[in-house]
Amino acid sequence: MKEPKLLAETPELPAEAARRRDPRTLLKKLAHFLAALFLFILAIQLMKRGGQSISPRLEGTFPVDNMVSTLGLGWLSAYLVLSGSPVAVVALTLFATGGINRAQTFTMLTGSRMGAAFIVLLVGFMYSMRAKTPDRRRASIGMGVLALSLTAVVYIPGMLIGYGLLKSGMFAGVNWHASSQISSVIDALWGPIVTFAAGLLPAPLLFPLGLATILVSFKLLDYVLPSLDGERHAGRGAHWLTKPWPMFALGSLAALLTLSVSVALTVLVPLASKGYIRRKEAIPYIMGANITTLADTLVAAMLLGSSVGVQVVLAGTIGVTVVTLFLLAFFYRPLQRAIMALDEWIVAKTPRLVIFVGILFVTPVGLMFSGRLF
């Protein structure tokens, strides 16, 4: 059965637009935003206090034996929380409290980005179970495979470039951090809450409490931030979907607005499932989203008062940006053909897909245990 056209869905749009402009809706969004901001800062302060207790015991032990172990830790942790941003903040907090060194922070942050797209594969599986044709099922799952594969293609060389830049000392002069006035406000508003929590719980438990708090803050932000109604935008501007650079800009903007590459990429699954976008057209969108997703991590580093943490984030961002722009400018068509050939090969047979998913888990686990073996 042919999918209904988007024009049939448009009569509801004026009512929906009016609802979004309703003062009560705007007040609710403002309240959610302020609550999310409050919890985000509180989470960082809780993890910082808890990290001061955990870090001395953690340094040089499993699973942070070396920089390869932390790459696997960040990668696998992003699977578990279905998001890379909280894991990146954890890495910066552990560094700020002395639990891991600069190189380990860099690789753990990179690992968090490698695993962030896993939710796209999960959503793709769910959509595939409702798909009516084999082509639609392959398109749904294939979008997840594409997101994970393309992230690895960009982030692995980007990590090497970024680490080289970090080691070169070119960011040594970067000393970005929250101003003393902001730090004073944070101490005054959030300090008593952290002290109260420290009086109720053992110090090490403040770290997981902070992690849970930051997950709640991101959940609240989901309500506030613009809804990426992929189907509607696909219907109104389908000509954009065939142009690499506009799609790259759209992906960059989507991840910047939502502060989550997981959210920005997941919207591609229903588009692919309903045939509004082809997987090969989503490649520049994914590449753009993978760059700007580190914006919230940069803010977290500044709030932690860690200039080296800021340097780590900048090095990772620049490394990925250099690789992305180089591939888009000079090797876009060969990259498109190669990555799509791999994607089609994996989704064509169920055993291949099972092997692919197995590799997704075996690889980060193996990296984590590398410190035990070597």
Does 270 reside within a domain? yes
255 vs 57, higher pLDDT: 255
Q: What is the pLDDT of residue 13?
A: 46
User: 134, 267 in Cβ contact below 8 A?
Assistant: no
Q: What's the chain's length in residues?
A: 374
Does 75 reside within a domain? yes
Does 158 reside within a domain? yes
Region 66-70: mean pLDDT is: 92
Percent residues over pLDDT 70 in the chain? 87
Q: What is the pLDDT of residue 268?
A: 82
User: 297, 88 in Cβ contact below 8 A?
Assistant: yes
The Cα-based distances of 65 to 60, 74, 158, 368, 369 in angstroms read 5, 13, 23, 8, 9
Cβ neighbours for 176, distance < 8 A, ≥ 6 positions apart: 301, 302, 307, 310
Region 71-99: mean pLDDT is: 90
Q: How far apart are CA 1 and CA 56, in angstroms?
A: 62
Region 338-358: mean pLDDT is: 95
Q: How far apart are CA 85 and CA 43, in angstroms?
A: 13
* 294, two tokens: 């580190």
Does 130 reside within a domain? yes
Count of CB atoms situated within 10 Å of the CB of 59: 15
Does 345 reside within a domain? yes
Q: What is the pLDDT of residue 161?
A: 97
Q: How far apart are CA 45 and CA 40, in angstroms?
A: 9
Q: How many folded domains does the chain comprise?
A: 1
Q: Inform me whether the pLDDT recorded for 8 exceeds 50.
A: no
Count of CB atoms situated within 10 Å of the CB of 91: 32
Does 6 reside within a domain? no
User: 293, 176 in Cβ contact below 8 A?
Assistant: no
Q: What is the pLDDT of residue 97?
A: 87
352 vs 51, higher pLDDT: 352
Give the global pTM.
0.82
Does 1 reside within a domain? no
Question: Ramachandran region of residue 349, left (φ > 0), alpha (ψ -120 to 50) or beta?
Answer: beta
Q: How far apart are CA 222 and CA 229, in angstroms?
A: 13
Region 145-167: mean pLDDT is: 95
Region 281-309: mean pLDDT is: 89
Helix runs in 97-133, H state only? 102-116, 118-130
Q: Inform me whether the pLDDT recorded for 50 exceeds 90.
A: no
Does 2 reside within a domain? no
Region 201-209: mean pLDDT is: 89
Q: Which domain holds residue 198?
A: 13-373
- Average pLDDT over the chain reads 83
